[in-house]
């Protein structure tokens, strides 16, 4: 194990300075929700997208705006509704009567941070158009390809409570999100602090502390993080259990799994494991880094039966059982 010798001490110090700067700036604005900022950073560093699940009003938009402001990036918020069209997101051609020609107008997806609010309220066609932009990192308008920004992260949210008038994402679509984070309510003490900070108009002082180039450097550094073959095997063994749970888990657990994780889950484990290692101050991945991100990687990739929902069995419980049966290297 080379313990990340391909990353110099100077590079690691610079990376840790960028990470600490973002975390400190975030903590100065947002009370709690450390799991949220960590998930956004992991997705950003691994150059992927994040799916957030929570009820409204838990600082999802604020968190995205704060990180955008910290690096003077461009932020777009798209409120998904059933009548939202693909052109409302990616843009389209508009006829200019003054010169009798079509002009291309780029949509709000052309930003560094795109908040796709309540993605499950948009139609399947619109969801597909957005997910294509996420995957290909480009759009085609009038036969011309337009590249999205080099730093491009989509933060999509869905409300688990209100299901009327929604179009649930298909498994193949949710699989394209690098990670999924579930956000819970703040504690009463945290909520008191939130009220106190609002009284001081804390969100009016939005200063730039870093640049887009710093975040691109983080992505570059993440790719250089070392991961040993034993940790790679550990990842694939975890994913394999989700596909053949009857061979590893007790019946009280495997009977609820209807579909396991794809190869994209293994890739996500590796990429996010590298990001998580950097967040923990290391240039190499350990099995603990993989365990820490298991919920984020698998909770939207393991399909559970209706019986699981009826019996109150959560996917996180199944993931815990999977981690128990896979030996740690």
One domain, residues 184 and 232: no
Residue 299 has pLDDT above 90, yes or no: yes
pLDDT digits (tens, 9 = 90+) for 195-246: 888 777 776 667 788 999 999 999 999 999 999 999 999 999 999 999 999 9
Q: Which residue has the higher pLDDT, 56 or 193?
A: 193
Q: What is the pLDDT of residue 6?
A: 83
pLDDT digits (tens, 9 = 90+) for 79-131: 888 888 888 888 888 877 878 788 888 889 999 999 988 888 888 788 878 88
One domain, residues 281 and 187: no
Q: How far apart are CA 200 and CA 196, in angstroms?
A: 7
Distances in whole angstroms, Cα of residue 257 to Cα of each of 74, 254, 261, 278 = 40, 6, 11, 33
On whether residue 209 sits in a domain, the answer given is: no
One domain, residues 41 and 160: yes
b/e code 132-166 from CB counts within 10 Å (16+ = b): bbbeeeebebeeeebebbebbbbbbbbbeeeeeeb
Q: CB–CB of 87/48 below 8 Å?
A: no
pLDDT band at 302 (very low <50, low <70, confident <90, very high): very high
On whether residue 200 sits in a domain, the answer given is: no
One domain, residues 187 and 235: no
State how beta strands 138-141 and 179-182 pair.
unpaired
Residue 1 has pLDDT above 60, yes or no: no
Q: What is the pLDDT of residue 161?
A: 64
On whether residue 324 sits in a domain, the answer given is: yes
CATH code of the domain containing 116: 3.40.50.300
Residues in the chain: 329
State how many domains the chain has: 2
User: Which of 175, 194, 213 is the C-terminal boundary of a domain?
Assistant: 194
Distances in whole angstroms, Cα of residue 43 to Cα of each of 46, 121, 212 = 5, 23, 15
One domain, residues 174 and 83: yes
State in Å, rounded, how far the first CA of the chain is from the last one.
13
CATH code of the domain containing 329: 1.10.8.80
One domain, residues 38 and 174: yes
Q: What is the pLDDT of residue 55?
A: 73
One domain, residues 261 and 167: no
Q: Which residue has the higher pLDDT, 152 or 159?
A: 152
On whether residue 104 sits in a domain, the answer given is: yes
Average pLDDT estimate for 183-199? 83
One domain, residues 174 and 278: no
On whether residue 317 sits in a domain, the answer given is: yes
User: Which of 194, 217, 237 is the C-terminal boundary of a domain?
Assistant: 194
On whether residue 277 sits in a domain, the answer given is: yes
State the chain's mean pLDDT as an integer: 87
On whether residue 96 sits in a domain, the answer given is: yes
Q: For helices 315-325 and 229-243, give the axis angle rounded to 10 degrees.
A: 130
One domain, residues 234 and 291: yes
Residue 288 has pLDDT above 90, yes or no: yes
Which residue has tokens 């889950």?
265
pLDDT digits (tens, 9 = 90+) for 2-46: 555 688 999 999 999 999 999 998 888 888 778 888 999 999 999
Q: What is the pLDDT of residue 16?
A: 95
Which region among 33-37, 166-170, 265-269 has the lowest average model confidence (pLDDT)?
166-170
Q: How far apart are CA 47 and CA 12, in angstroms?
A: 18
Q: What is the pLDDT of residue 140?
A: 83
Nearest alpha carbon to residue 298 among 194, 186, 195, 171:
171
On whether residue 219 sits in a domain, the answer given is: no
Residue-number span of the structural domain to which 323 is assigned: 225-329
One domain, residues 256 and 169: no
User: Which of 173, 194, 215 is the C-terminal boundary of a domain?
Assistant: 194
One domain, residues 130 and 266: no
One domain, residues 13 and 104: yes
Q: What is the pLDDT of residue 66?
A: 86
Distances in whole angstroms, Cα of residue 45 to Cα of each of 49, 91, 108 = 10, 27, 22
């Amino acid at each position: 194990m080379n313990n990340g010798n391909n990353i110099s001490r100077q590079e690691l110090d610079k990376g840790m300075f960028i990470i600490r700067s973002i975390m400190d700036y975030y903590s100065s604005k947002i009370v709690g929700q450390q799991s949220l900022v960590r998930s956004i950073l992991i997705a950003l560093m691994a150059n992927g997208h994040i799916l957030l699940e929570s009820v409204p009003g838990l600082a999802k938009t604020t968190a995205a705006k704060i990180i955008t402001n910290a690096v003077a990036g461009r932020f777009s918020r798209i409120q998904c509704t059933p009548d939202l069209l693909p052109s409302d997101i990616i843009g389209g051609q508009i006829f200019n009567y003054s010169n009798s020609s079509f002009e291309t107008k780029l949509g709000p997806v052309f930003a560094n941070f795109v908040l796709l609010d309540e993605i499950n309220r948009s139609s399947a066609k619109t969801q597909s158009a957005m997910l294509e932009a996420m995957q290909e990192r480009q759009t085609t308008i009038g036969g011309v390809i337009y590249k999205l920004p080099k730093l491009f992260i989509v933060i999509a949210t869905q409300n688990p409570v209100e299901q009327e008038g929604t179009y649930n994402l298909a498994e193949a679509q949710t699989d394209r999100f690098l990670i999924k984070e579930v956000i819970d309510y703040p504690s009463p003490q945290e909520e008191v602090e939130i009220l106190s900070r609002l009284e001081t108009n804390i969100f009016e002082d939005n200063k730039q502390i870093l640049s887009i180039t710093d975040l691109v450097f983080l992505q570059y550094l993440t790719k250089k993080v070392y991961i040993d073959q034993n940790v790679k095997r550990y990842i694939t063994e975890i994913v394999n259990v989700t596909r053949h749970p009857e061979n590893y888990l007790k019946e009280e657990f495997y009977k609820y799994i209807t579909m396991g994780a794809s190869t994209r889950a293994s890739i996500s484990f590796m990429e996010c494991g590298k990001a998580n290692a950097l967040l923990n101050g290391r240039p190499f991945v350990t099995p603990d880094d993989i365990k820490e991100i298991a919920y984020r990687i698998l909770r939207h990739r393991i399909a559970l039966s209706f019986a699981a929902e009826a019996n109150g069995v959560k996917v996180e419980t199944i993931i815990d059982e999977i981690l128990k049966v896979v030996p740690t290297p």
